Amino acid sequence: MKENNFRGEIFPILECKNDIIRDNNKVLHSLINIIDEIEKEIASFSLKTIGELIKDSSSKAFNSVLREYSEKKYNTKYPEKRKNCNDFEGVYIFFENKTPVYIGISRSLVSRLKQHANGNSSSTATLAYLMAKKENSELKSKDFGGKNNKLRERYKNEVKNLKVFIFPFKKEEYFSLSLLEIMLAIKLTTKWNTFKTH
């Protein structure tokens, strides 16, 4: 029997025996296939920096990516309901040189990348905050916000110079997107991902 959470989203059915998820679990197998596909596509893409992409996200850079993915049938979900039809849900991977360092997911990927580069809080400029906190372990999230924060601006500029790979996600199940983020972070051993809860 399928169970729903408070939003009506259906939980994946995981067949278990002795607390081990069986190999034939469809959800995990489909995600493993997507990870393989992502790894192949990363190798064939000419990656741009986050700064290059967000500079003109309404036209050239993102439109070429969207066109490429729509040809592969990774279409945006409900574009008529979005304020910006150039936005889409999916996975993004930040690279330092050729090394993947951070993976994120978003239902509005273009907007999320802009937040990483231009956000003024620890919850919007998340990676910049993690970098700053590594330098200063006493840094509190409330101190990261506010005006004229030189530490925040320095790390936001570092984030803007990271290369980014984006992968629109074609499934509607958000638990799959969340699982994909975790599985990719494990597979690619991204140094800035943490799954510590609040």
SS (H, E, C) 10-41: ECCCCCEECCEECCCCHHHHHHHHHHHHHHHH
CA distance 35 to 46: 18
Give the pLDDT confidence score for residue 64 in this predicted structure. Answer: 63
* pLDDT at site 80: 44
Those residues of the chain that have pLDDT short of 50 are 1, 17-24, 70-82, 198
pTM equals 0.77
pLDDT at position 27, please?
Answer: 72
Gyration radius (Cα) of the chain, Å: 18
